[in-house]
Amino acid sequence: MPTACLLQNVKAWLIGELTAAVAADGTLSEEQLKEFQVAREKGLAELLKARLQPWVDGDKQKFIEEAQAEMAGLLIEPFGIEILQCVGYVYQHKANMLLGLHHSHLKLPGHIASLRQQGHTFLRRVRAQVAVAKAAEFTERYERERQSANNSSLNEEGFPLFINSLWAVSVLDIESTLRHVVTLVVVDESVPKDVRAARAKGIAVLGKIFQEA
């Protein structure tokens, strides 16, 4: 797989395609949205499997070098650091959770990781609600004051609020999608158990590298 291919496709599937779906402005049925989501998850799962193959084959050095190159390539992209942190967190924690649930005798590490994930998701939702509320409050104030002679300061204040709210909501969708993707890759009964375990370990390493950004 070419360098930076995986994360570039993550951007295409999770941001570009999602934007197109939102732009449909309600014209997609619930069934079509479900089909779209399943296609996103399956497409990303296949990309992730291919990305993990060097690790599964034992070529860990190549795997790590490619991951570091991906990270460096995405750092110069818009929202690159934010995407790396988001994707890296989900990869590392979801992979460790599945390793603990499916590849340990007591399964306790998996349950602990699951509780941490629930807490993280709760905080993400709270932040998204706060960001959206601030953007809505600003919109109301802007509508009241837009007739004034000088509202340039309002424009400057509003832009980061809307960007923040858009990103906070997008993160919820991205993280939810990637958790499903990691599950598809790690709980894949078409391959032997040792391959599934290797994939989970590789995903955790990939997540750790991305978070170093």
Structural domain range at position 24:
6-103+167-208
Residue 144 predicted with pLDDT over 80? no
Q: What total number of domains does the chain contain?
A: 1
Tokens describing residue 16: 């570009």
Report the C-alpha gap between 70 and 202 in whole angstroms: 15
In angstroms and rounded to an integer, the radius of gyration of the C-alpha atoms of the chain is 20
Which pLDDT does position 112 carry in this prediction?
Answer: 61
Mean pLDDT of 40-53: 91
- Residue 59 phi/psi, 5-degree rounding, is -90, 70
Tokens describing residue 31: 């069934």
* CB 74, CB 84: distance < 8 Å: yes
Which pLDDT does position 86 carry in this prediction?
Answer: 87
* CB 210, CB 67: distance < 8 Å: yes
Handedness of CA 114, 18, 124, 84 (dihedral sign): positive
Which pLDDT does position 103 carry in this prediction?
Answer: 47
Distances (CA, A) of 56 to 64, 136, 200: 12, 48, 10
Which pLDDT does position 3 carry in this prediction?
Answer: 38
Mean pLDDT of 156-184: 77
Would 120 be classed as within a structural domain? no
Would 188 be classed as within a structural domain? yes
Q: What is the pTM of this model?
A: 0.67
Report the C-alpha gap between 35 and 200 in whole angstroms: 26
18 Cβ partners below 8 Å, 6+ apart? Answer: 170, 173
Other C-beta atoms within 10 Å of 135: how many? 19
Higher per-residue confidence, 196 vs 5: 196
Would 129 be classed as within a structural domain? no
Report the C-alpha gap between 196 and 182 in whole angstroms: 11
Higher per-residue confidence, 87 vs 153: 87
Would 138 be classed as within a structural domain? no
